[in-house]
Amino acid sequence: MHITELRLHGFKSFVDPARAPIEQGLTGVVGPNGCGKSNLLEGVRWVMGATSAKSMRASDMEDVIFSGTAGRPAREHAEVTLVLNDALGQAPAPFNKEDVLEVSRRIRRGLGSTYRINGKEVRAKDVQLLFADAATGANSPALVRQGQISELIAAKPQNRRRILEDAAGIAGLHARRHEADLK
C-alpha cells in the first residue's frame, strides 16, 4: 500500500484546493519559512486519524480550519484526502477489494470530524486501523515531527515500547484487542 496523492482544502494555510502527487521513491518538500511544509505533514497525520490538537500545534481541533487573513475570510470547514494504491490488497477487509482507496477527513465548525473511505462514511477507528496495520498512521514513527527526537530520548520505557511496537507494525493488533475488551 502506498500514497499516490495528497489533497488539502481549507486545512491550515491551504485555503484553496491543493493537490500534491506523490511519486514512488523519495519526495522532498522545500520552501521558505512559514510556507506550509509542516502543515502538509500535519495534514497527512490528521487524515490518518490524529486525535490530539496539540500534535497539530493547535489548542482546539477546529483550529486546523483556515482561520482567515487580511484579504480572505475564515472557512467553515477543512478537508484532507489521501489517495492510496492498494493493488496488493493489504488493507483490512472490506477495504482490500479496491485497488485505489481515497481516505478523507472533514471537519466543520461546531460539528466535528467525519471520515470517508471511497465516499462511504466510516468510523475514525476504521481509518486509524487501516494505517496502523500499514505500520504508519498518525502516531507512527514513520512521521517524525520537528523536535520529536529529543522527546524520544527523554521518553519513559512504556512510551518507548509503544514506539517500537508501532515500528514493528503491531499497533493495529493492540487497537483491536482494546476494542474487543470493550465489547
Minimum distance of Mg ion from residue 36's CB (angstroms): 8
Q: Which of 24, 33, 150, 158 binds ligand ATP (CB under 6 A)?
A: 33
Q: Which is nearer to ligand ATP, 34 or 157 (CB)?
A: 34
Q: Decide if 138 contacts 128 (C-beta within 8 A).
A: yes
Question: Between the CA of residue 85 and those of 33, 113, 169, what are the distances in Å?
Answer: 32, 24, 19
Q: Decide if 151 contacts 139 (C-beta within 8 A).
A: no
Subset of residues 14 to 53 that bind Mg ion, contact rule: CB under 5 A = 38
Q: Decide if 121 contacts 114 (C-beta within 8 A).
A: yes
Q: Annotate each residue in 59-98 with x if it binds ligand ATP (CB under 6 A) or - if it does not, as one string.
A: ----xxxxx-------------------------------
Minimum distance of ligand ATP from residue 147's CB (angstroms): 11
Q: Which is nearer to Mg ion, 25 or 32 (CB)?
A: 32
